[in-house]
Structure 1
Amino acid sequence: MRQLSDRVREGKNFSAAQVGEWKGLLQYQITKPVKAQGKLFIKEELNCTGMEVSFNVLPPRKEVPFHHKHQENEELYIFFKGTGQFQIDGEVIEIREGTVIRVAPDGVRTWRNHSKEDLFFIVIQAKEHSLPTSGIEDAIGVDQPVNWPSEENGTLNQF
């Protein structure tokens, strides 16, 4: 299985990673708390301090074979491609490209891909009620000109 750590760049105020194409997510797997292929957590590689993010692919006709909930973290599921079903507290929601679902920590959840194509999604976890302001309210303008490097002189930084 491929490691993401060899494709991470860091600077004073950033970490960046090249995860690869969506179809390549099956190269990643986790073993704890359960074994799952097609799941890549990036919190540690990017030094995230207030959220966990995972990139996921669920192959056709597969399902998460258990229910789970969280102690403190809410989760945001963002579906990019494919179709399936998501179950929260016994209620079933049809999912497809563009579906976004937030689940509170106590929400008992599971999901499945009952289609013939892969289901691609991102999950973001953060402690419930931990953001005192929204992203726009938290932003501060910086009086600095915007300058981009020229593509001709090869100064663009790539992975």
Structure 2
Amino acid sequence: MRNESCTFKSLDLNADRTELHDLLKLTGCEVSINNMAQNTQVPFFHYHKENEEVYIVLEGSGFVYADGETIKVEKGSVFRMSPSAKRCIKANENGIRFLCIQCKENSLTQFTYGDGAIDKTIEWKI
């Protein structure tokens, strides 16, 4: 790209974990793509001090531990964890691929239509 307003990179979607913070120079959130092999789990339970997390299951299935409850998740499942929720993820026999988006809780002040602006002066040049 010829300017600094956009950052484009390629990544290996099959890597165990790819964090996009450094790769894309993100300033408002962290995004990671995660691939867990069959019958594996994140090796620790954790929570956050300030950041909520949104998970989107892209492939496979497994279980999420959240504050003492175990919930089955599968392709298409989406869920949010508050910062204080103690959590962990475990893959089923077919593994699991998920996207995790992390940002400071209560920091979103505008979104979609409130933040976007339409510019009708631009046309595609392909």
Q: TM-score, with normalisation over the residues of structure 1?
A: 0.74
* Counterpart in the other structure of 1:12: 4
Q: Which has the larger radius of gyration?
A: 1
Distance across 2 between alignment mates of 1:114 and 1:40: 21
Question: Conserved in 1, the CA contact under 8 Å of 2:59 and 2:96?
Answer: yes
Relative contact order, CA 8 A, sep 6+: which one is greater? 2
> Shift of residue 64 of structure 1?
1.4
**Could you say which residue in structure 2 is the equivalent of 1:76?**
54
Q: What are the ranges of 5 or more consecutive residues in structure 1 without an aligned counterpart?
A: 1-8, 26-37, 150-159
Hey, which bits of structure 1, 4+ residues long, moved more than 6 A?
none
- Report the AA paired with residue 114 of structure 2: E
Q: CA deviation at 1:136?
A: 2.1
2:43 matches 1:65: yes
State the distance in 2 between where 1:94 and 1:118 align.
Answer: 13
Aligned with 2:97: secondary structure?
strand
Aligned length: 126
For residues 101-137 of structure 1, what are the alpha-carbon distances to aligned partners after superposition, in whole Å with 9 as ceiling and x for unaligned? Answer: 110100100010122x231111110000111122221
Among candidates 53, 59, 62, match of residue 31 of structure 2: 53
Aligned residue identity for 2:23: E
CA RMSD of aligned residues (A): 1.4
- Select the structure that is richer in helix: 1
